[in-house]
Structure 1
C-alpha cells in the first residue's frame, strides 16, 4: 500500500468495537502534523536515548555480575541462548512495524485503532512462533540440557517483548515515547535487582535467565495500561480484524525479507562459533557484543523517530526528506566515531576491569565488533530510508549477498582464528553491505546527496588516526585519560561538520510517485 493510497482512501464505516473516541479531540491534519513535528521527534529521541542510557548501564552491570559468577561454560550457554533469541527477530519482527507506520499517521482515529489492534495481535502471534522455533532449534540439534532448559525459560522474553514493541510503534507514530522509555527503564531496573539477588542467594543459570523475562512482563504491562488510557486515536480497537494481516504482511514482505537476512548476517557468527569452536569461545566473543550492543541500542532508539519523520516527508517534501537523511547520517556517523575512538585504545583495560582477566583475550574481537556497530548505524539508516521511500524491495538481495559472504568468511576464518576470525568476518561483511546498500539507494531514490559523504569521510580519517595514536599512548598514559582525549578530539572535529551537514541545502530532484 503506497502512502498516496493511504492518504486518499475514504473514511471507513464506523466500527462499534473501537474504543470510544471523541472526534472533536482529533483536529484535521493533527496526526500528520504530529508525525512530521521535528521538535516532537527531538523530544521523543531524547526520551528514548535517555532510557537507552539507563538500560545500557543497568544491563551492563548485570552482565558483569553474571560473567564473573558463572563458570566459563555456563557463561557461554547464557551468551548463546540470548544470541539465539536475538536471531528470532527474523520471525518476530518481519518489518511490519515500519510497513504500518504510514497507516498509523492518518487523521482517522478509528482507522488507527483498527490498524493498532491488528498489528499488536500479529506481533503477539509472531512472538509465539519465534519462541517455538528457538526451542525446536536447540532440541533438534541436541544442544546440552542446560541450554535447552535456559532457552525454554528465556524464550518467554520474545513472547512478551514482541507485542510490547508493537505498542512502542503505536506511541512512536505520534512521537509519544516517554511512557515507553519509562516502562523499559523500570523493567531493566527490576531485572538488575533480580540478578543481584540471584547472585547473592541462588547464582544459577536458570535464575539469571528468568530476570529478563520479568523485565519484559513489567514493561508490557505498563505500556498496555498507558495505551488503554490514551485519547486522540491511539487506543487500539477492542476487536481484531484478522483480514488486515494480509495487507500488513504483503506491504512488509520486501522489508521483512531484507530485515530477516540482516539479522541473520549479524547473528550467524555466534551460531557458527558454537558449532566450530567451544562454548568458552562463545562466551569470550559475547563480551565484545556487550559493548557493540550498547551502540546498537542507541542507534535503534534514534532510528524510530527518524523513520517517522522520513515517512511524513515522503513524497511531497523531497528537500525535507534529504535534510533529515543528511542530518541523521552525520549524527549516526559521529556517534559511531566517538564510540570507536573511546573504546579502541582501552579495550583490554576496560574488559579486564569489568569482566575479569580471562576475557581480555577477546579485546581485538571486541574492538572490531564496536567498529561493526558503527557501520550498522548507517546500514539501519539506509534500510529506513528505502522503506520510507517505498523502495524496500531493493534491499533483500543486498542482505542475501551479505549473509552468504558472512557465512563463507566465518567458515574459513573461525577454524584458524576462532572468535577473532568471526569478528573479522562480521566487520568485512558489514562494510561490504554498507557500500552496496548506499549504491542501491543512490540508483533507486531520486534525491541527490542524502548521505553526507564529506562529513563521514573526515570522521573516519580522524577516528582512525586517534585510535592508532591512542593505542600507542595508552602504554604510558592512564587509559581513562586516553579514552577521554580521543573522544574529545573526534567531538571537536565533528561539531562543525554536524552544523554544516544540517544547513547545507544542496540540490535535489523532484520526486514523482505513481498515484495508482
Structure 2
C-alpha cells in the first residue's frame, strides 16, 4: 500500500471514529453543564485545566520521539518502545503525585482540590494511553486510538447514568472518568503489544539517551501547551469558578475541533520523517498538500462555528449559559457565545501550525521549538495578567487568538530555515472566500443548527470546488497510486 493510501485510509477511519467520539464528548459536556450549572461546571473545568498542565509535563516529548524512532527504524523497536513507555509511566506517577501537593497552595475550594487528587488516577492512565498511540501511529493503525477513545467515553456515560443519577458531586463524576479510562487502557495495551510486544523496559543507559534527546522537545511541548492552556488556570485564580464556567464551553468546543488537525497530521508525521530521512524529493509537495488540506478543513470549521455560535452554545451548554455573564464591554454583556465567537479564530492558526512544527520534528530539529514557545508563554501570561482583571474571559479568548497567530508565523519561519520547501497561499485564499460566502448566507437564513450545518457545508464545499480551493485529487485521494 502506498503512503498516500495509508494516510487516506487512516484519516478516513479516524474521521468516522472521531465523529462518534466528538458526539460523545459533546454529549458528556452537555450533560454535565446542565447538571452542574455555570459555577459547578467551572469547578469541573478547573480540575481538567490544572491537571492538563501536569499531563504535558508527564509526556515531555516521549510520544513524538517514539513515533519518529519507530517510523525511521532507528533501532530495536521492542527495546525502544519498552523503555519509552516505562519512562512515560514513571514520569506520570511522579508528576501527578506532585500535583496533589502543589494544588494545596491554590485558592480553590476544598471540593475542587479533592476532585483533582482523585482525578490524578485516570490522568495517569490517559498519559499511558497517549504513549501507546505512538505505536499505532508508527504502524498506520491510529484507528485503534479511536477505538480506545470511543470506548472510554461510552463507559463514562454508562457509569454516569447507572450510578450517579442527578448527582453533582465532582468525586463521583471523576469516578466515571476513571472507569472509562481503565477500560480504554486495557484495550490499547492488548492491541499495542500485538504490534510491538513491549514490556516495562529498564535499560537505564537507553533511558539517559532518550531523556537527553527528549529534553529540548519536551520543554518546547510544555511551553507550547502552557501558553494554550495557562489562560484558564490564570482565570480560575484571578476570577474563580463562575468566570471559568462561562468560558469553558467555548474552550471545550475548541479542543474538540482541534482534534481534526492533530489527527490528520498524526498520519503525516511518519511520512514527513521517512521522506526527510530518505531525502525524498516528494517532501516539499507533501508539505503543500498538507497545508492545502488543513486550510480546507480550517475555513469550514471556523466559518461554520462562527456562523452558528448561539445555536451551538444552546445545544452544548444549555440556556443558562446563553445569558450568564460577568463582563460588560460598553453596553454589551459578554457571554459564552461571545467567548466562542472570539476563540474559534484560534483554529485559523492552530490548524495550519502543525504543517510546519511537525516538519521540524521530522527533521530532528525539535530543539528549535523551545525558545519560540518560551516567548509565546511569556506574551500569553503577561497579557492575561494585565487584561483579565478588567475583561475576564474575553481577555483570555483574545489573548489565545493573538498568541496562536504569532506562533504560526514563528513555526513557518523556523521550518523554512531548516527544510527546503515553497508555499502557495492560493488555495487558502480561495477557501477563505468560499467561507465568507457560507457565513453570510447561513447568518441570513438563520435556520436551525442541523439545517445550517447541512446547507453551510454544501455551500462551502461547492464554492471551494468552483473557486479552485479544493483540488480534484482531494476528492479522489483513495484512488491515487502515489503522493
TM-score by length of 2: 0.89
- Asked if residue 484 in structure 1 is aligned to residue 450 in structure 2, the reply is no
Verify the 8 A CA contact 2:37 2:320 in the aligned structure 1. Answer: no
Name the structure 1 match of 2:429: 457
Q: CA deviation at 1:321?
A: 1.5
Verify the 8 A CA contact 1:326 1:502 in the aligned structure 2. Answer: no
After superposition, residues 328-343 of structure 1 pair within 5 angstroms as 328-343=290-305
User: Which of 337, 346, 365 does residue 363 from structure 1 map onto?
Assistant: 337
Q: CA deviation at 1:391?
A: 2.1
Question: How far does the alpha carbon of each residue in 1:141-196 deviate from its partner, in whole angstroms, 9 at most, with x for none?
Answer: 24211111110111212211122222221122111233332222112111111223
* Distance in 2 of aligned mates of 1:477 and 1:179: 37
Distance 1:431 1:397, change over 3 A: same
- Asked if residue 91 in structure 1 is aligned to residue 57 in structure 2, the reply is yes
- Asked if residue 403 in structure 1 is aligned to residue 377 in structure 2, the reply is yes
Distance 1:184 1:201, change over 3 A: same
* Distance in 1 of aligned mates of 2:169 and 2:363: 48
Structure 1: runs of 5+ lacking an equivalent:
1-33, 504-516
Name the structure 1 match of 2:150: 185
* Distance in 1 of aligned mates of 2:44 and 2:294: 30
* Distance in 1 of aligned mates of 2:225 and 2:296: 24
* Distance in 2 of aligned mates of 1:333 and 1:394: 25
After superposition, residues 381-396 of structure 1 pair within 5 angstroms as 381-396=355-370
What is the Cα-based RMSD across aligned positions, in Å? 2.4
Name the structure 2 match of 1:23: none
Determine helix, strand or coil for the equivalent of 2:76.
helix
* Distance in 2 of aligned mates of 1:403 and 1:469: 38
Q: CA deviation at 1:356?
A: 1.6
Name the structure 2 match of 1:506: none
Question: How far does the alpha carbon of each residue in 1:381-409 deviate from its partner, in whole angstroms, 9 at most, with x for none?
Answer: 32211110122222222112211111122
Determine helix, strand or coil for the equivalent of 1:485.
helix
* Distance in 1 of aligned mates of 2:105 and 2:417: 44
Determine helix, strand or coil for the equivalent of 1:394.
helix
Q: CA deviation at 1:461?
A: 4.2
User: Which of 122, 125, 128 does residue 87 from structure 2 map onto?
Assistant: 122
Name the structure 1 match of 2:260: 298
- Asked if residue 494 in structure 1 is aligned to residue 456 in structure 2, the reply is no
User: Which of 238, 243, 258 does residue 205 from structure 2 map onto?
Assistant: 243
* Distance in 2 of aligned mates of 1:50 and 1:483: 17
Distance 1:184 1:279, change over 3 A: same
Name the structure 1 match of 2:325: none
- Asked if residue 135 in structure 1 is aligned to residue 100 in structure 2, the reply is yes
TM-score by length of 1: 0.83
- Asked if residue 352 in structure 1 is aligned to residue 314 in structure 2, the reply is yes
Q: CA deviation at 1:238?
A: 6.0
Shift >4 Å, 4+ stretches: 476-480, 500-503
Q: CA deviation at 1:311?
A: 0.7
Verify the 8 A CA contact 2:431 2:470 in the aligned structure 1. Answer: no
Q: CA deviation at 1:73?
A: 2.3
After superposition, residues 147-296 of structure 1 pair within 5 angstroms as 147-200=112-165, 202-230=167-195, 234-237=196-199, 239-296=201-258
Name the structure 2 match of 1:448: 421
Question: How far does the alpha carbon of each residue in 1:344-374 deviate from its partner, in whole angstroms, 9 at most, with x for none?
Answer: 1221122123322221221121122222134
Number of residue pairs matched?
461
Name the structure 2 match of 1:19: none
Determine helix, strand or coil for the equivalent of 2:292.
helix
Higher mean C-alpha deviation, range 129-138 or range 342-351: 129-138
Question: How far does the alpha carbon of each residue in 1:16-55 deviate from its partner, in whole angstroms, 9 at most, with x for none?
Answer: xxxxxxxxxxxxxxxxxx8x73322322222333222221
* Distance in 2 of aligned mates of 1:401 and 1:493: 39
Determine helix, strand or coil for the equivalent of 2:60.
coil
* Distance in 1 of aligned mates of 2:69 and 2:353: 25
Name the structure 1 match of 2:30: 64
* Distance in 1 of aligned mates of 2:146 and 2:317: 28
Q: CA deviation at 1:244?
A: 1.3
Question: How far does the alpha carbon of each residue in 1:478-497 deviate from its partner, in whole angstroms, 9 at most, with x for none?
Answer: 45444433333332243443
- Asked if residue 413 in structure 1 is aligned to residue 387 in structure 2, the reply is yes
Distance 1:175 1:342, change over 3 A: same
Higher mean C-alpha deviation, range 367-376 or range 291-300: 367-376
* Distance in 1 of aligned mates of 2:35 and 2:126: 27
Q: CA deviation at 1:464?
A: 4.2
